[in-house]
Amino acid sequence: MPSKSSRKREPERKRALMELRFPSENRYLHMVHQLTKNLAESTGFEAVEAEQIALAVDEAATNVIQHAYGGEPGHEIEVHFDPEGESLDIVIFHEGEPLDSVPVPEFDLDKLVAEKRKGGLGLTIMRQMMDKVEHGRAGTGKNMCVMVRYKQKGSERS
Amino acid sequence: MPDLTVESRQVGDVTVISPRGFINAHTVRQFEQALAGALADGNQKILINGSGLAYIASAGLGVIMGVIEEVRSRGGDIRLAELNETVRNIFEVLGFNHLCRVLSSEREGLESYQPIAGG
């Protein structure tokens, strides 16, 4: 019989983390989109909110493929999902060009239309759909995009 | 099942474009070609029936954004109908509902192009 001093300690609870790695090709975007949507729905977000989060991740991954890797296939993109706690935290890692150095003007739909621009919406979608979007560099040296969406109800987006 | 199919048909002087699936960076070219094809044929009244559209990412919105001024300058327009809740929500969040008329049904979309009778 174990004594008090040798009582088994509760194992330290680790935060649940899901990881996904996929090649830098547009054909994988829908898979990432659907996985994100399903994960968001299963962690308490409404369907419309889950679609917003999925779209933000779709746009972030598209930016990595098109801008960080310049459309080159064969590079790796890594996505970490942390659905525990008050928010769904998503981090996209890549080893392409850092995206934080890309200048992004203030979103002005009328101006984009007048200029007949086809691009310029991706980062705006990410910022509109998520509560936090930050680009930076991870301790591993990889570039990363951190996106957070809080789980509180009554979001003004939906 | 294909990621995206795009059907185009003529109803009077309106070209109805019906994407079925999703529009993102992977599939956008099909959508862009359907729209460009209609405009190249001289059709300037476009109605996008979104009843089969699961979602649209910035690539697809960019296609509409890139041509709508030119279409309007030729007396035409790009209107949308039967968007699902998630697509409608994306439109509203980005202000596309102010850029394009969004009708609840294809019939309403077609009628919106008809001149108002009487007066």
Taking only the tens place, the pLDDT of each residue in B48-86 is: 999 999 999 999 999 999 999 999 999 999 999 999 998
pLDDT (tens digit per residue) in A110-143: 888 888 888 778 999 999 999 999 999 999 999 9
A121 Cβ under 8 Å from any chain B Cβ: yes
A131 in Cβ contact with A148 (< 8 Å): yes
Nearest to A118 among B66, B93, B94 (CB): B66
Token pair 């996985």 is found at A35
Query: Are A118 and B86 in contact (CB < 8 Å)?
Result: no
Note the pLDDT of residue A117: 82
In a domain, A156, yes or no: no
pLDDT (tens digit per residue) in B82-115: 999 989 999 998 999 999 999 999 999 999 999 8
In a domain, A138, yes or no: yes
Please report which confidence band the pLDDT of residue A105 belongs to, taking 50, 70 and 90 as the band edges.
Answer: confident
Gap between the Cα atoms of B31 and B55, Å rounded = 13
Amino acid identity, residue A3?
S
Note the pLDDT of residue A152: 81
What are the chain A neighbours of B84 within 8 Å (beta carbons)? none
Can you tell me whether residue A67 is helix, strand or coil? helix
What's the mean pLDDT in A147-157? Answer: 76
Concatenated DSSP letters for chain B? --SEEEEEEEETTEEEEEEEEEESTTTHHHHHHHHHHHHHTT--EEEEEGGGEEEE-HHHHHHHHHHHHHHHHTT-EEEEE---HHHHHHHHHHTHHHHS-EESSHHHHHHTTSPPP--
Count how many domains chain A has: 1
In a domain, A1, yes or no: no
In a domain, A12, yes or no: no
What are the chain B neighbours of A26 within 8 Å (beta carbons)? 24-26
Q: Which of residues 53-82 of B touch A (CB under 8 A)?
A: 55, 57-59, 61-63, 65-70
Gap between the Cα atoms of B76 and A120, Å rounded = 25
The ipTM value here is: 0.90
> Domain span at residue A83?
17-150
Please report which confidence band the pLDDT of residue B2 belongs to, taking 50, 70 and 90 as the band edges.
Answer: confident
Query: Are A128 and B94 in contact (CB < 8 Å)?
Result: yes
Please report which confidence band the pLDDT of residue B119 belongs to, taking 50, 70 and 90 as the band edges.
Answer: very low
CATH number of B4-111: 3.30.750.24
Is residue A6 over pLDDT 70? no
DSSP A88: E
In a domain, A155, yes or no: no
Query: Tell me, what CATH number does A64's domain have?
Result: 3.30.565.10
Task: Give the pTM.
Answer: 0.88
Please report which confidence band the pLDDT of residue B43 belongs to, taking 50, 70 and 90 as the band edges.
Answer: very high
In a domain, A130, yes or no: yes
In a domain, A10, yes or no: no
In a domain, A116, yes or no: yes
Domain boundary assignment for chain B: 4-111
Nearest to A125 among B25, B67, B94 (CB): B94
